[in-house]
Every structure is written in structure tokens, then in C-alpha cells.
Structure 1
């Protein structure tokens, strides 16, 4: 049997007594608004993960830099790409993919991993999902110095499109919420889903323009155009790397966000009171 640690108890206290007065209908809204709670819990997770480490989460930065250099040197040759354009493209793609893949994988255990807290304290389930999303979002930001160094090294200077980056990152943050809530509920009910998601992510990686660009497919570029993950990545990657802005990617991203939040809200309303019994 687990117990609440001091950081978790303090975070819940910060949320006030209103956290318990919610239903499945407003769980997502109340949970998202409880930023002081899931923000504190997310930071606590990061500190615990890198406790007694000299450089802490910057190990993630270092591993990203090594991966970008090694894969960039190899695939720029295989794909006949200019390394000055390919390395920044690859770096942003890997950083964003790692965030999306980790949110999906850890989102499967959003409620399973917090079973003790869910059974003992009535707070919005969405807080547990936001905790995962915020933790991985902060870790993702630790890898962006790699991107900045590459952009400066190869002479890529920001254009006006760079102003779209904060909006793109905000949309990715919101996408992470509905993904974690949806997978958290489904995986709490059906325990075979987590390994399915893990294997599916590995397959989807090869069909998503992370290490390759749609232009090299020519007439088969539809493989990327109908890939929703490509559009989620492109709303951040294109403004950073100076690639042409494809406004259809923004339309896709907003439409998927609305549909995803609506579906997660539907699931939450139907299953909010059942989830503790599934854990």
C-alpha cells in the first residue's frame, strides 16, 4: 500500500477545498484550471527523477544532441540532404516526437500509476494526466537548446513566422491533455491497450516525417499529409526552421484538438465514477 509523500500532499493543499467538488461533467475543466497542483506535482517528478544528478534533466539535452549528430550525419547522406538544413529539421522533429510518444506511453498509466491517490482523495482525474503532460513538456523544453545551437551554427535566423512557435507549443500542450485523459481511461479499463500503444508508436514513427521530409516522397507525399502527427509537429517545426507555413497543418491541429477534447470529455462524463473501481 502506498502513501502520499509530502510534495504530493502539499500540492493538493495548494488546490484548496474546491478540488473535491466536481463531477465527470467538469472534471477536465477543473483539472486543467488546477495548474498549481499539477504544476507542482510535475516539477516534483522531475526533481525526483534527476535527484543527485549533476546536470539533472540536461542529460536529456545531451542524449538528444548525440542522437541528432549521429543520425544527422548518417541520414543526410542516405537521403541526399544538405546537412545545414537537415540537422535543424531533424533536431526539432526528434524533440517533438519524443514528447508526443512519451506523453502517449505514460498517458496509458496516468490513472493506473496514481491508483492510491485516486482511491484515497477525490480530486479531478485530469490532474493526474496534466501532471504527466507538464512533466514531459518541461523535459522537452530542456532539449531546445540543441535546436538553438544548430540554428545559430548554420545561420538560420528567425523570421516573422517564429512568432507562431509559442502558439504551436501551447497547442501541443493541450493535445497532450486529451491524449493522456483518453488513454488513461481506456487503459484503466482494458489493460491490454498499453503494450498495443507502445508497439503502435514504434510503427507510426517510420510513417511520420521525423527523419525525412514529405518532399522526398514526391507523388506519395500523401503519406505525410494524412498523418495527423505530421501536422502536430509541423506547426512548431516549420516556424522554427524557416520552412514554408502550411496553414492546413494548423487547421488539422485545431480540428483534432476540438475532436480530441470532445471525445475525452465524453469518456470522462461516462466513466469518471467507475475509474477508481477499475484500478
Structure 2
């Protein structure tokens, strides 16, 4: 089967794979979204970076005082955590709405449903790549030069990118069928923010650090934050991140096969 044939003859079993393969489609759509969002703007997507920088500065000064942390080491920790959290939370909320917002395309054009999710994931991943260098530049400014472990940021970012795909596919389909799931997801993210080590470190919990270690969102942040800060990534974080990724794609694939042919009727 050729490339063009796969595009038109995909089904529930091959939807995710065919969608991922057509990177030229979802990457172009993602860039188009970014250009439209920041049309006639001087800074463009760097407005998001600027707002993130201001938030990191304000929260860093406040919480470093409350938690009695050294601000020089606390700011990068908080900065990377907030940047990754914004990516994850935005991908989850926008991914949950991906099928609903793309209803007019789904009803008119035959393409893999995963394309609409990949579009959202790529758009937010590009914004992530605009914001993360701000924290890295701050580290360089204070004389902290990352070692060879910094290269581990590459597989970490790739895993983050793939996590966005299965989350978007799974939640996108579920939210079409059950519209009450979206506000549940939104409220869950608000609570999860405070239970995830972003503004605080697991060491502060002492004997209750297991609350963080059993939080998969913490490990997703850690596989990127640790290389940037030059600290070792615990094997536990890799196991959680990769295991969570496999389980997520299996669940997304199962739901895609079961519900893809019904999705148009639910929209």
C-alpha cells in the first residue's frame, strides 16, 4: 500500500500510525495556528515566553521566601517545572477539545483523526521550545554550565511529545462521547498542579515523599528538568514515563478502534 493509499484507506487500527507518519500535514497546520494566533504581533509567540518569565520571577521570589530556598537554585527548578506543566496541562485541555473543535473538518474531509491531535501537540511543543531556553539562559547567566547529562533532554522532550498524542486521542474521543469529562479534566488539572512537585521539591515532604514518586506527572517533568539542572535522572522516572507512555498508547489505540466509526455521529 502506498503513502497516498494509506492516507485514504486508514481505519481505526491504523489511524494513529498514519497520522503520526504524515508529519508534514500536522506540522504545517500547527505552524499556521501559531501564525494566526500572533498575527500582527511584534513579539509573536514570544509573548507567551515573556509572560512565563514574569510568572517565574514573581512566584520564584515569593515561594523561595516561604519555603526558605536559595533563590538562585530555586528559580531554575521552578522555571523548568512551570514551563513543562504549562505544556502538559495545555495539551491535555486542548486535546480534550480537539475532536469537538475540528468537527467541521472531520465531517467534510477524510483524514486520520490523530492529525487533529498532533496539530495541537506540535503547536504547544513549539511554544515549549520558545520558553524553555529562557530558563537555560538564566542558568548560564549565573554560571551554571550543564554537563553531558544535558543531552538527555532530547529523549525527555521526545517522550513528552508522544505523551501529548495519546492523551489527546484518548481524551478527545471520550469528550466527544461524554461532554461532562471536559470540566472534570479541567478541575483535575487544577488540583494536580498543587500535588505535583513544581513549586516544591519531594524532599520537603520527608516521609511522605511517596506522594510525589507515585505521581506520573512528576516523572514527566523530571525527565526534562533534571538534565537542564544538571542533576541525575532517577531510573524510577524513566520507568514511570516510558511505562505510562506504553499504557497510554494501548488505551488510545483500543478506544480508537472501538469508537472511530461512531465519532462523526457523536459530533
Q: Please report the TM-score for the alignment, with normalisation by the length of structure 1.
A: 0.93
Give 1:12's aligned residue.
none
1:239 aligns with 2:237: no
Note the 1:107-126 alignment, pairs <5 A: 107-126=95-114
Matched residue SS, 1:274? helix
Give 1:255's aligned residue.
243
2-side partners of 1:144 and 1:237: how far apart? 10
Give 2:134's aligned residue.
146
1:182 aligns with 2:170: yes
**Do the aligned residues in 1 keep the contact of 2:6 with 2:18 (CA within 8 Å)?**
no
Higher helix share: 2
Note the 1:62-211 alignment, pairs <5 A: 62-211=50-199
Aligned residues: 265
Q: CA deviation at 1:80?
A: 1.0
Q: Please report the TM-score for the alignment, with normalisation by the length of structure 2.
A: 0.97
Q: CA deviation at 1:16?
A: 4.7
2-side partners of 1:119 and 1:212: how far apart? 45
**Do the aligned residues in 2 keep the contact of 1:88 with 1:147 (CA within 8 Å)?**
yes
2-side partners of 1:179 and 1:245: how far apart? 24
**Do the aligned residues in 2 keep the contact of 1:64 with 1:146 (CA within 8 Å)?**
no
Deviations 1:49-90 (A, max 9, x none): 000101100001100110011000010111111111100001
Q: CA deviation at 1:169?
A: 0.1
**Do the aligned residues in 1 keep the contact of 2:12 with 2:256 (CA within 8 Å)?**
yes
- Unaligned stretches of 5+ residues in structure 1: 1-14
Note the 1:10-21 alignment, pairs <5 A: 16=4, 18-21=6-9
Deviations 1:12-45 (A, max 9, x none): xxx8564221000000000011100000000000
Q: CA deviation at 1:179?
A: 0.2
**Do the aligned residues in 2 keep the contact of 1:158 with 1:242 (CA within 8 Å)?**
yes
Out of 242, 254, 257, the residue aligned to residue 266 of structure 1 is: 254
Moved more, 58-67 or 155-164: 155-164
